[in-house]
Amino acid sequence: MRHTLLAAVSILLASCSSGSNKPAPPSPPEQIAATPVESHESVEAETQVEMVNVNMHLDPELILHIRHLRGKFLSTKKGQPPSFDDKLSYIVAIDSGEVGVSMASMTHVMNTYVFGEPDSPLKNLQLSSEGSQIRQKGTLKKGIGIPFEIVGTISATPDGKIRIHPTQMKLEHLPVKGLLKLFGLDMARLINTRKTRSVSVDDNDLILDPVRMLPPPQMRGRITAVRVQGDEIIQIFGKEARHAATGQPRSNYMAYRGGTLRFGKLTMSNVDMQLIDADPTDPFEFFPDHYKDQLVAGYSKTTASGGLRVYMPDYGKLSKRPAPAD
């Protein structure tokens, strides 16, 4: 079994070309904005997934900082296992975890995926932190466009979405509450969410649906808490409490166990595989679109039980090929 697996890995490594290290430009929002897809789960075929200290690139400008995550790697295609070569073939179903997204990445999400259509009501959005609140600036597309600014609290809804409740609102530098009362308007009439993806309005609150906001690979789970911390929006999934380790983690990795996975020309059954950061001094920077480049630039080992340990350089360090450990 060990010789067979080694041969398969050798074929995989030989067949993958590193290609260009330059990230490909994002596809148009209408082509890749996430739409919830049905997973085809089987108890016998489930692959458990765990991630620790991973910076996951969903596109060249959108990075999720996964502090820790536990869940399942589920197929979206009946009768076929998930494949690393097709990010539409799987869902990461999160049971518990903590995931951060920077204000710069969230600004990119809002402008590209949420309000990216030509007729979307909000344009030129810019998000920043305001203590424990979030500040949004942009243009309301009414005629020639009206500058607006919203400061609000952020929280989780009972069904696992994100609520932004305005505490301050301005249009053209004028307080909005008085204008709304004067013209008999509310947020739903002011912002036509029928022309947007993943956004709804509840009274004067904006409700964001993270599952529909992000491009694939799709990550879904029930958000139980959300907060602004520094320059990040931190999302907590599930109920499991995790005691943070002091200092840097000894290893940053993504681990897969059970079920069946495909990557390259290799199909692995009863999966026992870890993708491990070759440099644990900073987060593991992983880009699914370029995982083969990282794979070729790294090295792998087979465990005595037939498991696979793949040591990869960070995506941003692909020009620096890591040397195998003794």
pLDDT by residue, tens only, the chain of 326 residues: 434 333 333 333 333 333 444 444 444 444 445 555 555 544 456 899 999 999 999 999 999 999 999 999 999 988 899 999 999 999 999 999 999 999 999 999 999 998 888 878 788 999 999 999 999 999 887 667 788 888 999 999 999 999 999 888 887 766 665 545 444 445 555 565 565 668 888 888 889 998 888 999 999 999 999 999 999 999 999 975 554 443 445 689 999 999 999 988 889 999 999 999 999 999 999 999 999 999 999 999 999 999 999 999 999 999 754 444 44
Per-residue pLDDT tens over the stretch 226-277:
999 999 999 999 975 554 443 445 689 999 999 999 988 889 999 999 999 9
- Give percent helix, percent strand, percent coil of the chain, each to the nearest 5: 20, 40, 40
* Angstrom distance (rounded) from CA 74 to CA 98: 20
How high is the pLDDT of residue 212? 87
- Rg over alpha carbons for the chain, rounded to the nearest Å, is 22
How high is the pLDDT of residue 79? 87
How high is the pLDDT of residue 233? 97
Among 258, 264, 271, 260, which residue's Cα sits nearest to residue 303? Answer: 271
How high is the pLDDT of residue 169? 83
Angle, vertex CA 301, rays to CA 300 and CA 302, nearest 5: 135
Alpha-carbon distances of 144 from 123, 156, 192, rounded to whole Å = 12, 34, 16
* Angstrom distance (rounded) from CA 109 to CA 106: 5
Residue pair 46/70 in contact by the 8 Å Cβ criterion: no
How high is the pLDDT of residue 92? 95
How much is the pTM? Answer: 0.78
How high is the pLDDT of residue 42? 47
Helix (H) or strand (E) holding 103: helix 103-109
Residue pair 149/133 in contact by the 8 Å Cβ criterion: no
* Angstrom distance (rounded) from CA 260 to CA 22: 31
How high is the pLDDT of residue 182? 42
Locate the domains of the chain by residue range: 2-97+238-317, 104-213+223-234
How high is the pLDDT of residue 2? 38
How high is the pLDDT of residue 145? 79
